Amino acid sequence: MLARPGQTLRSQARDFHTPSPLFLDFLAPSWRPTAQRPPFAAGSRSALSSRSPPSRRWLSSTPQRQAIAVQNPRKDDEGNEMHVTITPRAAHRLTAIAEQDKNPELALRVAVESGGCHGFQYLMSLVNTTDVDPTEDTLFENEESVAKDGEYKAKLVMDEPSLELLNGSSIDYTMELIGSQFKVTGIPGAKSSCGCGTSFDVA
């Protein structure tokens, strides 16, 4: 049985011990390099967070659908499958990075650790699905492709404690005049968050 977010999950997340995150943008999530990952093509990380004003916005009339857990699906205490949603904007951005890097195995990892001004903060990094731990990580994939060739599908990776805290949330890509970034929105268990949007507290 999975622990309830308000009980042992908090201690699990607070027990994480990681190096101090590197902030590439004062409003962007902190990015942490992943050990033993093959380097991505130049420009990949700048594509994650950019200070350049957007030239256009990705708009889609396609309704948002929950991403499918294609590896290691997990259930909550009530027996419901835990899920996340990748918005069309985030899917388009991940697809653009994958096409630029010519990497069909590219995925966005979202991990929650203790820290930030509200107790928890999420970190993001680009990884390869070939390096995902089949026992510790859950791999999500969009049901539909937004790639020109129709092959690449946006992918997301979360470990179990992070998924329990972010279950039911959405991964979006926001574009503002001061910069663009991937962002977690609509966290059901969050009771408060800070102005930067990357730190939150749970009930």
List the domain boundaries for the chain: 5-12+64-202
Tens-place pLDDT, residues 46-77: 555 554 444 444 444 445 778 999 999 999 99
Tens-place pLDDT, residues 126-167: 999 999 999 999 999 999 998 888 889 999 999 999 999 999
Say yes or no to pLDDT of 102 above 90: yes
Say yes or no to pLDDT of 30 above 60: no
What tokens does 171 get? 């991964």
Superfamily of domain 5-12+64-202 in CATH is: HesB-like domain (2.60.300.12)
Choose among 53, 47, 50, 58: nearest CA to 88: 58
pLDDT band of residue 21 (cuts 50, 70, 90) is very low
Do residues 76 and 84 lie in contact, with contact meaning Cβ atoms separated by under 8 Å? no
